[in-house]
Amino acid sequence: MANEKFKEGGASGVGDLARMGGDVEGTLTNNDLKHGGAGFWRDMVRMGGAVISVGISGTPVTSGTVDEPYDGFTVTASGGTPPYTYALVGTWPDGIAVDPSTGEVSGTPTESGEFANLSVSATDASSNTVQIPDFTLEIAAE
């Protein structure tokens, strides 16, 4: 198993690549929200010579207030093998959740603070997982 760094099209990351008989498994992460703000990444997985591509998109709302409904956002997966299961990644404030079948992030935060390295992931029926770029959510006190 090799650990390789790569840079292409403005996105960079580190992938753990396993190469056996032409099959490749890899995970890529795009951490660039500053150019347009929209998070999008495509994770490529090659299995038995066929390429399965799972894409994800969603623009997170990065601020909120304690005890007020979070504006929320929806993450959408495409490609791969539906259906998709969505999950929160990182330590989110209490009161915010994701609907595992729709990707809708919503709720009413019950604690204030700065919550860094948050994301939302999508996993398809073949266990391929991709996530939006990490971001920081700031929840203000009342």
Q: Is the domain 54-140 a CATH 2.30.40.10 member?
A: no
Task: Provide the pLDDT for residue 72.
Answer: 96
pTM of the predicted protein model: 0.68
Give yes or no for residue 21 having a pLDDT over 50: no
pLDDT in tens, 6-20: 333 333 333 333 333
Domain boundaries in the chain?
54-140
Say how far apart CA 17 and CA 27 lie, in whole Å.
Answer: 8
Q: H-helix or E-strand containing 116?
A: strand 113-123
Phi-psi label, residue 126: left if phi above 0, alpha if psi -120 to 50, beta otherwise? alpha
Calculate mean pLDDT across residues 121-142: 96
| Residue 131 banded pLDDT, cuts 50, 70, 90 | very high
Buried b / exposed e along 79-108 (16+ C-beta atoms within 10 A): bbeeebbbebeeebbebbebeeeebbbbbe
CB 128 within 8 A of CB 80: yes
Say how far apart CA 140 and CA 135 lie, in whole Å.
Answer: 16
Short-list 68, 37, 62, CA closest to 115: 62
Task: Provide the pLDDT for residue 44.
Answer: 53
pLDDT in tens, 58-114: 999 999 999 999 999 999 999 999 999 999 999 999 999 999 999 999 999 999 999
Give yes or no for residue 142 having a pLDDT over 90: no
Give yes or no for residue 50 having a pLDDT over 90: no
Task: Provide the pLDDT for residue 12.
Answer: 33
